[in-house]
Structure 1
């Protein structure tokens, strides 16, 4: 069924009751830290109780290895990845550090990012450059680029010195979907190692990692897949697995990837082991139902805000539940003014959103999740112009 233009989707019955979010705020920023459904909260709590009842039995091999392996296989299948080439990690920032630390680099080699790269990825790339003498190169894609223009911009930034590229699948600040398969094909033709930052992919859109052709792919499940925070996946192609260097060479180092990455001392594994409970909640609601609802509601909110602020619309892939709106000229002029505006929206409008200063312009990012309602976006659209006029 097609929703008429300008009309939001119907709320999913009972979905809002699955979350324990503070009703005093409109939570329109799911993409930053996610929100854990109550069944997954309870699963994690039970696992922590089990752990504290007998920490030695809970954390000692072989039992803990078997449980983590079972969980990893379940989560890998959800994203269409080879379980034997997938490791559980705390987040994509850690995964990116592992990947960049595993690619041999010499002075003058180049690491390629785009202008949409997440800030922590940029920081890690700069650190790796400082360690190795490599050079950081940015492909300037822009906000309104088509798929053809994205591929052309990334390809144009590749030189004979490019060794590794980290490309977003869905960018964080700009909510842009990149044509990863086409980019990987083009960059492999030129001998470049392709790593994909898919922080926002698991749960938001359907993905088959094995078909993308990337050398490495990493995504968070605690954003859109209802998993406890600190749950991410790192997928590595077969030809690169033996060269993976974990951040810490702990007791499982000799067992190779993925165990060398997964077992890093006395970390709390309850969140990882509870992740399937979050996926179960989503599949019970219906994967397609959740994704369709969220994408339609995000589109509705983006349209309302764009119209109320009288700014140019930002093209967005229809399947995304995370979208950006251009702010009026002068509303945000620096990173610090972006932070101040976000805090004002939180305190004065009782609404959580993300605000960024990107390529000289202010962007407001909206998300939609099953606990959201159309009225939350309508209230923001009605009140935000006045807040901006007050300066």
Structure 2
């Protein structure tokens, strides 16, 4: 991993990909600079999903009770797992990364002397899930701090030092952190944990379609990522990959008619849930490949770096963190001291920016400081970041005075 503290070098913004903006139905009156939170579904994928919805409603009995539903799910799972370098037979489609995390926590079977170790870059709902499961078992959830700007070597060293062999029952680590956009060296972290036979869950919510990944090569016991963020799938599509020793232990959160089949079918079949996001997900990968995934990655990373630079210059921030991977298309800009230092304050500021500046961003409170997170996707333009950079300083000044 490139050191996270190397700073940003961004000159002119990249050229737009021809026709890419027309693939989306986003409100043209809003600068949507927050693809990382909920993604944006291309029109063609929306239509593919709608055709599936029409099929369901034309004959629900045939769709849900016919022999072909799970065959279609398995076929889709194999297609998506192949794209991610995951074993299709050890993977399951789930609604989102948080669901996958809860499945893992439910299946690890914590005991009172155990602990779950997380990093302070982790996602909020993952912390909540870990603490709830620990509370039920009488176990402990503990956090290791990773400084903003730590190199790969320092990250691995800090995680290794925090492990407690014989006590740490599970390590949860982000591949790309939501709050900080840090791309952590998960392969090296997994190797360090496995030296002590400690299983690792990689939260890869932001990875599929964002950066290249080979899930099998990472070697994690559990890996879960959303395809509805950067892989253009309909919302409600994620893939959980489980290493062979754990597959028989995986217990679905809800028991269904496929319970006796075991993992992954017991996890995937949930009665009358909406399967159309999963079945339409390959259309998202088709869109990505049609645009040229390499070109998409290059465009998005360059545009995110440009946006970070112009916002940083506007706010007088010179120490702009690099995410640690050249193709990460999320960047953070530390906000002035005293702004968005708590979760409620961060939410209020994000809402204010959306309402006053017609710009959707993400604001997180991390380590006692507010972080503005920008995303870049093929529908974005440099002028959207320029416009935000021009108007945001005054808004923050007014907000701080109130």
TM-score tier by shorter-chain length is over 0.9
Contact preservation (8 Å) 1:80, 1:209: yes
1:89 pairs, out of 94, 110, 115, with 94
Contact preservation (8 Å) 1:349, 1:383: yes
Deviation of 1:228 (Å): 0.3
1:252 pairs, out of 255, 258, 264, with 258
- What SS class does the counterpart of residue 80 from structure 2 fall into? helix
2:366 pairs, out of 322, 337, 358, with 358
Q: Which residue of 2 aligns with 1:299?
A: 305
Q: Which residue of 2 aligns with 1:180?
A: 186
Q: Which residue of 2 aligns with 1:314?
A: 321
Q: Is 1:21 aligned with 2:29?
A: no
Deviation of 1:283 (Å): 0.4
Q: Which residue of 2 aligns with 1:390?
A: 398
Name the TM-score, length of structure 2 as normaliser.
Answer: 0.95
- What SS class does the counterpart of residue 390 from structure 1 fall into? helix
Q: How many pairs does the alignment contain?
A: 388
Q: Which residue of 2 aligns with 1:148?
A: 153
Cα distance between partner residues in 1 of 2:364 and 2:278:
31
Q: Deviations over 1:318-351 (max 9, x none)?
A: 2100111100111223222111111110011100
- What SS class does the counterpart of residue 17 from structure 1 fall into? helix
Q: Which residue of 1 aligns with 2:332?
A: 324
- What SS class does the counterpart of residue 197 from structure 2 fall into? coil
Deviation of 1:275 (Å): 0.5
Q: Which residue of 1 aligns with 2:229?
A: 223
Deviation of 1:99 (Å): 0.4
2:56 pairs, out of 45, 51, 70, with 51
- Greater Cα offset, 380-389 or 328-337: 328-337
Contact preservation (8 Å) 1:114, 1:141: yes
1:379 pairs, out of 378, 387, 401, with 387
Structure 1 segments, 4+ long, off by >6 Å, are none
Cα distance between partner residues in 1 of 2:267 and 2:62:
21
Q: Deviations over 1:292-315 (max 9, x none)?
A: 100110011011111111122112
Deviation of 1:191 (Å): 1.4
Contact preservation (8 Å) 1:163, 1:191: no
Name the TM-score, length of structure 1 as normaliser.
Answer: 0.98
C-alpha RMSD of matched pairs (Å): 0.9
2:211 pairs, out of 202, 205, 212, with 205
Deviation of 1:5 (Å): 4.5
Cα distance between partner residues in 2 of 1:61 and 1:248:
21
Cα distance between partner residues in 2 of 1:62 and 1:80:
28
**Structure 2: 5+ residue runs without aligned partners?**
1-8
Change (3 A) 1:66 1:343: same
Deviation of 1:62 (Å): 2.3
**Structure 1: 5+ residue runs without aligned partners?**
none
- What SS class does the counterpart of residue 270 from structure 2 fall into? coil
